[in-house]
Amino acid sequence: MKRLTMTLAALASFLFLATTLWATTSPQRMFTPEEAMTQLKAGNDRFATGHAIHPNQDRQRRIFTTSKGQHPFATVIACSDSRVPVEILFDQGVGDLFVIKVAGNVMDVDEVGSAEYGVDHLGTPVMLVLGHTHCGAVTAVVQNEEVHGSIPRLVDNIIPAVTKTKNDHPKLAGDELVTAAVVNNVWQAISDLLSHSPATRVRVAAGTLKVAGAIYDIDTGKVTWLGTHPDQKKIMADAGPAEVSHDAQQADHKDNVQQDTAETQHAHEVETETVPENVEKGGMSNTLWFILILLVIILGAVYIKSKNKQE
Ligand SMILES: [Zn+2]
C-alpha cells in the first residue's frame, strides 16, 4: 500500500509539473480583443510620433511564419489608397495583420468573405474598418463624379453612406461633407459585415471579437478611434439569431475547421523563444486530454491494487 501511495504521489507531482510547464510555455495564448486593440494603438502611436520599431520584418520572421503558419491578431479592411500602408501605420510586421485592401474600404461579397477568413478561420480578436482622410473613392461619390467600367458597382457600396450624410447634415459641403461621409462609410462597412456574416455575429455575441471603426489621417499619420458601431445591437438583432446561422456556418466550414486543427497541432511544435504572443487559442484541450488519460490510468491502478488486496 505504501508503494502504491508513493507511485500515486510521484504521478501527481509529474502531472502538476507537466501541466504547469505546458501552461507557461504553450504558444496557444491569443490576444483578447482589448489587448489586440492596445497593440494597434501602441503601434500607431509609435509610427505617428516617429518612434516605429519595425517589428517582425526580418528573415527569421519569414521562416517562422512559413513553417508555423500565420496567426495575425487583427483583421483590417482599409482603402487601396497608396497613402494608407496598413502594416506601416500600425508599426507591425510579417504575419501580424490580416489586411483587406479595396477602394473605399467597402464590404461587398468578396470583402465579407475575406473578413470571415480573418475573424473566423484565423480567429483574429479584432476586425477593424479603417477609413481615411481625403479618400478619393468617397469624394467621387460625394461629388457625384462620372465613373466607368466596373467602378459604378464598387461605389454602389459607398452611396448609402453619402446619402445618409447629406440627409443628416444638409448644410455640410466641401471637405467637411467628405470628412463626415468617410466616417459614415466606415459605419456602413461595419453594418454590411455584421448584416451579411453570421460567423462574425457569433463571435461578436460571444465576446471573442470586437468589430471597430477608425479613421487614418494621411497627413499626421494618426488614427482616430471610433469604437464599435453605435447601432451594433440593432444591426445584429435585425440580421437574425446568430446561433442558428452559426450552425449552418459550421457545416459550411467543416473543411476549414479540420485544417485549423491541423494548424493548431502544428503550432504546438513552436520554440518558446520565438513564439509570438498572438497565436491560436484552443491548445489546452490537448492538455486536458493528457490529464484525463493519466487520471484514468491512475484510477485503474488503484482499482486493480485494491482488488488484488481483497483477494
Ligand atoms: Zn480612399
39-98: pLDDT as tens digits: 999 999 999 999 999 999 999 999 999 999 999 999 999 999 999 999 999 999 999 999
Percent of the chain with pLDDT over 90: 67
- Per residue, the 3-state secondary structure of 213-245, as one string, reads EEEECCCCCCEEEEEECCCHHHHHHHHCCHHHH
CA 138 – CA 176 distance, rounded (Å) = 12
More confident residue, 136 or 272: 136
Between the CA of 208 and the centroid of ligand 1 the distance, in Å, is 29
CA 54 – CA 34 distance, rounded (Å) = 22
Between the CA of 90 and the centroid of ligand 1 the distance, in Å, is 17
Average pLDDT over residues 278-289: 44
Q: What is the pTM of this model?
A: 0.71
Neighbour-count burial of 210, counting CB atoms closer than 10 A to its CB (0-12 exposed, 13-18 middle, 19+ buried) = buried
Element (H, E) at 132: strand 126-132
Q: Residue 271: CB partners within 8 Å, gap ≥ 6?
A: none
Between the CA of 35 and the centroid of ligand 1 the distance, in Å, is 28
Average pLDDT over residues 187-207: 98
> Which range is least confidently modeled, 187-191, 194-198, 252-256, 279-283?
279-283
Cβ proximity of 115 and 127 under 8 Å: yes
Closest CA to 189 of 84, 108, 98, 99: 108
> pLDDT tens-digit profile of 170-181?
999 999 999 999
Tell me what pLDDT residue 26 has.
37
Q: Does domain 30-274 have CATH number 3.30.420.250?
A: no
CA 114 – CA 61 distance, rounded (Å) = 24
Q: What are phi and psi of 169, to 5 degrees?
A: -130, 70
Band (pLDDT 50/70/90 cuts) for residue 19 is: very low
Band (pLDDT 50/70/90 cuts) for residue 309 is: low
Between the CA of 81 and the centroid of ligand 1 the distance, in Å, is 5
Q: Concatenated DSSP letters for 248-277? A: HHHHHTHHHHHHHHHHHHHHTT--GGG--S
pLDDT, averaged across the chain: 82
> pLDDT tens-digit profile of 200-241?
999 999 999 999 999 999 999 999 999 999 999 999 999 976
Cβ proximity of 281 and 29 under 8 Å: yes
- What the block records as the C-alpha cell of 37 is 486593440
Percent of the chain with pLDDT over 70: 72
CA 166 – CA 173 distance, rounded (Å) = 9
Residue 101 has pLDDT above 50, yes or no: yes
> pLDDT tens-digit profile of 47-62?
999 999 999 999 999 9
CA 87 – CA 128 distance, rounded (Å) = 13
CA 136 – CA 75 distance, rounded (Å) = 23
Extents of the domains making up the chain: 1-25+283-311, 30-274
Between the CA of 220 and the centroid of ligand 1 the distance, in Å, is 16
DSSP state of 117: I
Closest CA to 53 of 66, 44, 62: 44
Tell me what pLDDT residue 30 has.
84
Cβ proximity of 5 and 306 under 8 Å: no
Amino acid 199 reads A
- What the block records as the C-alpha cell of 136 is 478619393
Tell me what pLDDT residue 254 has.
43
Between the CA of 66 and the centroid of ligand 1 the distance, in Å, is 31
Q: What angle do CA 129, 132, 133 make, to 5 degrees?
A: 155
CA 181 – CA 178 distance, rounded (Å) = 5
Between the CA of 166 and the centroid of ligand 1 the distance, in Å, is 19
Tell me what pLDDT residue 2 has.
59
Between the CA of 134 and the centroid of ligand 1 the distance, in Å, is 7
